[in-house]
């Protein structure tokens, strides 16, 4: 293996070790309650599926009902399913 390749392999090993150490530190802080993993202020509303029926009209006034599901953000005061 060339010296350039061994240098790259060594650098990659350093990056993996520093990343592992940072993740372990973050996990310790979360488990101790020092930081909140997903702060309330950064959570986005979860789209809520809504069922409905739609009348699809064919020619001469005939038609049929069709079941549809629409997805939209939760309405004000509505709790998204967990």
pLDDT in tens, 1-17: 577 778 888 888 998 98
Distances from the Cα of 1 to the Cαs of 9, 14, 16, 54, in angstroms? 10, 18, 21, 67
Between 78 and 50, name the one with better pLDDT: 50
* Token pair belonging to 51: 């069922």
| pTM for the full predicted model | 0.35
Question: In the chain, where are the structural domains located?
Answer: 3-72
Confidence of residue 43 (pLDDT cuts 50, 70, 90): low
Is it the case that residue 81 has pLDDT exceeding 70?
no
DSSP state string for 32-63:
HTSS-SS-GGGPPPPPEEEEEEEEEE-GGG-E
Give the pLDDT score at 78.
65
User: Please, what is the average pLDDT of the chain?
Assistant: 79
Q: How far is CA 55 from the centre of its chain?
A: 34
* Token pair belonging to 75: 């309405």
């Amino acid at each position: 293996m060339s010296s350039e390749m061994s240098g790259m392999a060594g650098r990659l090993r350093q990056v993996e070790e520093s990343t592992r150490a940072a993740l372990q530190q973050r996990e310790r802080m979360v488990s101790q309650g020092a930081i909140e993993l997903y702060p309330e202020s950064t959570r986005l509303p979860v789209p809520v599926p809504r069922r409905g029926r739609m009348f699809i009209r064919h020619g001469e006034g005939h038609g049929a009902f069709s079941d549809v599901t629409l997805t939209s953000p939760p309405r004000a005061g509505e709790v998204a399913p967990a």
